[in-house]
Amino acid sequence: MATFVLVPGFWLGGWVWEAVGARLRAAGHEVHPVTLTGLGDRAHLATPEVGVETHTLDVVNTLRYADLREVILVGHSGGGMPVAQAADRVPERLSRVVYLDSVPLPDGVRQFDVNPPEARAEIEKRVAAEGEGWRLPPPPFAEVAEDPRNLAGLGPADLALLRERSVPQPFATATEPLRRTRRTPVPETLIACVFAEEQVKQMFADEDPMMAGFDGVPQVVPLPTGHYPMLSRPDDTARALASLA
């Protein structure tokens, strides 16, 4: 049986892994959901200084203080940033890194950089107007206001849960660049949700900059659904993860 450490994406806490974690534990696996500093039930710890480094230490210390080894480390969406950086620091504790609808950014790149200029301007405007200059408010999680691909498969109860439990993201986690040295490569898997498997493979063939942080071409596992597969397809998400053990 495997040991999983599950890291959520922007605005989310460890709570988002409840259904997937229950299924993995029922199959005999050990599961450690992580709530990053300033989010979920640790929202009260949010400060302007919380950045990628803080969240990387959250992940690294989860591994160290529980003395976890041969870990399958999973990062969803923006959680891929601290996961990539943590994998660079403690590769000896990992058997595999999984990017769930996420990618590892290269050294020196910020999550903010993947947005086009007009989107960056809009994000900065929201942070200034609604987040006191240091917090990024969560999206509305409403179908009329978002790319429908992101919310595919989510029912009304799922959307209500996201609206109820999501909290503003410390903006420094998007503006602080990753620092990676690639000391020891760890096997990587990309579970592709929003983009089809064929699209992802074409992005690698085209040397798309979004894929530049991978150590070569990773294993690609298709899971056709929206950007929140742990809610929209928890059974299939758990099965996809368990298949990597």
Active site residues: 77
What is the rounded (10 degree) CA torsion for 81, 158, 192, 234? 100
For residue 74, report the phi and psi dihedrals to the nearest 5 degrees: -115, 130
Nearest to 82 by CA among 36, 137, 40: 36
What is the DSSP code string of 38-102?
TSGGGGGG--TT--HHHHHHHHHHHHHHTT--SEEEEEEGGGHHHHHHHHHH-GGGEEEEEEES-
What CA–CA distances, in Å, run from 198 to 35, 194, 195, 203, 211? 33, 12, 8, 9, 14
Of the CA atoms within 13 Å of residue 79, those in its CB half-sphere come to: 31
What is the DSSP code string of 129-163?
HHSTTTEEPPP---GGGS-TTTTTT--HHHHHHHH
* Distance from C-alpha of 41 to C-alpha of 102, rounded to nearest angstrom: 23
Contact partners, residue 42, CB within 8 Å, separation at least 6: 13, 35, 36
